[in-house]
Amino acid sequence: MSDIARPGILPCQSIDALIAQGAIMAESPFEHDQVQPASLDLRLGGRCWRVRASFLPGRGRTVRDRIAEVAMHELDLTKGAVLERGCVYIAELQESLALPAGVSARANPKSSTGRVDVFVRLLSDGGVAFDDVVEGYRGPAFMEIAPQTFSVLVRTGTRLNQLRLKRGVPERLSVKNVGVDLSDGIAGFRGRRHAGVVDLDKEDGHDPRDFWEPLRPQNGQLLLDPGEFYILASKEPVEIPVMEAAEMTPIDPSVGEFRVHYAGFFDPGFGTDEAHGKGSKGVLEVRSHETPFILEDGQTVARLVYEPLTERPTRLYGDLGSHYQRQGLKLSKHFRAWGE
């Protein structure tokens, strides 16, 4: 690989090289669109377990050992299975890792997963933190899945999270605050409790009115109710330069009793192209905590942390026909456009 001397996020061609070298393996052949500009989509394997509680394996312990201690029953994902909201599951992933020295990884929910309020986190053997995979890790990968608002239908091959690989520690990071857009008209959606099941492999296949309530803020304000789930949009467009990738992170909770609770990856080229560069809105998944909270138009609700890539990716976000390039306020790809 040509990026050995330079620290940063690995681009798609480096991920392809790791796959060719056997540093990233899978139970079935990799799919043509699985490698994104600066991340790798991960796929559910054949089995999933309903567990009594979330856990971390901890040093010297495997995920399978811990599953045996807390499992309630096993589900066969090859036939499809409904994961009930309010329950916690641990699923096998098809991909496993044999990372070379100097390469670590971090996982995050895919945008479509966060937008249906499904909380997912990566587990690795010996792990002491969710989502982070230590340098040189060799072993399987698992995913914790906890649907919050909707029950969901998944099956072997469903993609709920993605993996970003990093060489070394980049010296340069930049941070940008993200405000919320609560201007006139429909400014967001609130998830309807006790709705039907969302099939996470079915695109444009659900009527959004069965699952979402549109929100029209008054005087640029929106009252967040505790425990409710909201889809909102950023005030300013988001652009990710071709030599950078970004991750959305929550702000300090002391700023308010709410959280943009799904950190998300933004691949290089999101919201821009080299000819125009106009930007796309960032979609925000927001949940209030213990008390009602009034959110105001333009209020900072999250931050974007930008990291450099080791080299320019050979593919940019949108090259594979993404659902979210040039987006405004938009529900996940599982729902038809509002009003259709």
What is the reported pLDDT for 253? 58
Question: What pTM did the predictor assign?
Answer: 0.92
Is the per-residue pLDDT at 326 higher than 90? no
> In which residue are the tokens 């990233």 written?
24
Residue 278's region, left for phi above 0, alpha for psi from -120 to 50, else beta, is: alpha
Is the per-residue pLDDT at 58 higher than 50? yes
| CATH architecture entry for 8-167 | Distorted Sandwich (2.70)
The structural domains of the chain, with segments of one domain joined by +, span 8-167, 174-308
- Average pLDDT of the chain to the nearest whole number: 89
pLDDT for 296-316, tens place per residue? 999 988 889 999 999 999 998
Cβ atoms of residues 154 and 80 within 8 Å: yes
Does the fold of domain 174-308 match that of domain 8-167?
yes
Cα–Cα separations (whole angstroms), residue 58 to 68, 141, 156, 257: 15, 14, 27, 31
- pLDDT tier at 248, thresholds 50, 70, 90: confident
What is the reported pLDDT for 2? 45
Average pLDDT of the residues in 64-89: 97
Handedness of CA 260, 262, 268, 272 (dihedral sign): negative
| CATH architecture entry for 174-308 | Distorted Sandwich (2.70)
Tokens of 327: 């987006």
Cβ atoms of residues 140 and 127 within 8 Å: no
Min mean pLDDT across 153-157, 274-278, 312-316 is at 274-278
pLDDT for 97-137, tens place per residue? 999 999 999 999 998 999 999 999 999 999 999 999 999 99
Is the per-residue pLDDT at 280 higher than 90? no
